[in-house]
Amino acid sequence: MFIDVSMEITDGMLHWPSDPEVKIDNYSEIKKGSASNNSKITCGVHTGTHIDAPRHFIDEGIGIDRLDINKLIGQCRVIEVPPDVSPISKEFLEPLNINKGDRLLFKTKNSEWINNADKNFRTDYVCVNPEASKYMVEKGVVLVGVDYLSVEGYHVGHDTHKTLLGAGIIVIEGLNLFNAAAGDYKLIALPLKIKDSNGAPARVILEK
């Protein structure tokens, strides 16, 4: 069974405050006499469910088109984060028996907001703190997924991004894990192949 853990991309959807608004312009419509329906979409590359490339925070880092496809597809673990845990810390991670090569998706209370398509940006989302990101690098984690628009807290600096991306860890943001119970899955996460881009929207699915 497959579970779609991607956000819907809609006109005026939730976005990072300083990112462009998502606009979908249906410039050709059959009901208005056109031969076909056609649309233009305007959005940032970090829209909805998306993947960050190293280049997002490291100027000489690789772009989204060069991410290793072997990291984007494979076994993963959905970890349920209790509502009293915020941010995700090293102390929270230590008992989880994290191993080299793990792909970890963190399901928090954020998934409820994402699942409700709440368009209002919230600054109190659950994030990964810098110590937790360093711990995951030490453990040899391959991929980290979170269920809000940033892996990092709001306006707390960029240490988490720089640590994860600098170590070649894939960062998926904006997952909707509302319908994914904690447990092991096969992950398939494919970002649009935008040349040298610092990020790209992705369709992400889990197979039970």
Q: Binding residues for Zn ion, per CB under 5 A? A: 46, 52, 173, 199
Closer residue to Zn ion in complex, CB, 93/202: 202
Tokens of 197: 């881009």
Closest approach, Cβ 30 to Zn ion, in A, equals 36
Rounded Cα–Cα distance for residues 55 and 182 (Å) = 31
Nearest to 47 by CA among 90, 91, 92, 12: 12
Q: Which is nearer to Zn ion, 122 or 208 (CB)?
A: 122
Looking at the Cβ atoms of 82 and 167, the one nearer to Zn ion is 167
Residue nearer to Zn ion on the CB measure, 52 or 102: 52
